């Protein structure tokens, strides 16, 4: 049965945040809110968590996982960013964008696109998630909480707790969050390619 954490949206309770971070360090898979919608998240090297995300979402090996980072410095540890790409990402973060970029050696192989050796990265504009990332001290390996055969991501913490009670370890709820997945921009080929139009404005990438 999943633990349920009610977190204040503007002033997250540090004790609660630390409890969630400790669970993640111990191997937990959580459902948590972002500025675009809820996501599933676990620690970067958590093989069991990765497998559980694939199972819950029915994902194949071509799926791009996302490393949800606290800030740009952290993001730069896991993807290769040249000057032009730096400017593009800096102007759009924090925000509802996922960027696909060539991964560094610090990213486990099972997270990479099998042919491109790329991974998704993002910096969310969400108070509770930023507090969790700060306590954790490392990115959350994540995927949008979109269930198979459903068109819309799940957006209510109580519903997630009810439906995924026996497949996740914790649900973090901080009230309303976004209802659209992130806009996904592939920057791995030198030019911006819009892979998915979502919550982030695509005008700057057209």
In the chain, domain spans: 3-205
pLDDT at residue 176 in the model: 82
Residues 6 or more apart in contact with residue 85 via CB below 8 angstroms: 101, 187
pLDDT at residue 23 in the model: 98
- Whole-angstrom CA distances from 58 to 54, 155, 174 are 5, 19, 27
pLDDT in tens, the chain (206 residues): 999 999 999 999 999 999 999 999 999 999 999 998 999 999 998 999 999 999 999 998 778 789 999 999 999 999 999 998 889 999 999 999 999 999 999 998 878 777 788 999 999 999 999 999 999 999 999 999 989 988 888 888 999 999 999 999 999 999 888 788 899 999 998 789 999 999 999 998 88
Say how many C-beta atoms besides its own lie within 10 A of residue 167's C-beta.
14
- 8 Å CB contact between 175 and 188: no
The CATH superfamily holding the domain 3-205 is DHBP synthase (3.90.870.10)
Residue 144 phi/psi, 5-degree rounding, is -55, 140
pLDDT at residue 61 in the model: 77
Say how many C-beta atoms besides its own lie within 10 A of residue 85's C-beta.
18
Does the pTM of the predicted model rise above 0.85?
yes
């Amino acid at each position: 049965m999943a633990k349920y954490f009610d977190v204040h949206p503007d002033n997250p309770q540090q004790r609660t945040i630390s409890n969630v971070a400790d669970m993640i360090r111990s191997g937990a898979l959580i459902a948590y809110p972002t500025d675009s919608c809820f996501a599933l998240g676990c620690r970067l090297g958590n093989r069991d968590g990765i497998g559980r995300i694939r199972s819950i979402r029915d994902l194949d090996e071509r799926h791009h996982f996302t490393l949800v980072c606290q800030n740009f410095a952290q993001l730069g540890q896991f993807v290769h960013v040249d000057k032009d790409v730096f400017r593009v990402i800096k102007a759009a973060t924090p925000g509802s964008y996922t960027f696909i970029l060539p991964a560094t050696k610090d990213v486990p192989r099972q997270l990479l696109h099998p042919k491109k050796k790329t991974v998704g990265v993002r910096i969310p504009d969400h108070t509770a998630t930023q507090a969790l990332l700060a306590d954790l001290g490392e990115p959350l390996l994540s995927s949008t909480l979109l269930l198979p055969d459903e068109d819309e991501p799940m957006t209510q913490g109580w519903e997630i707790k009810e439906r995924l009670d026996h497949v996740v370890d914790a649900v973090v709820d901080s009230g309303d969050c976004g209802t659209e997945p992130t806009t996904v921009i592939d920057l791995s080929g030198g030019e911006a390619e819009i892979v998915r139009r979502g919550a982030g404005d695509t005008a700057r990438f057209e």
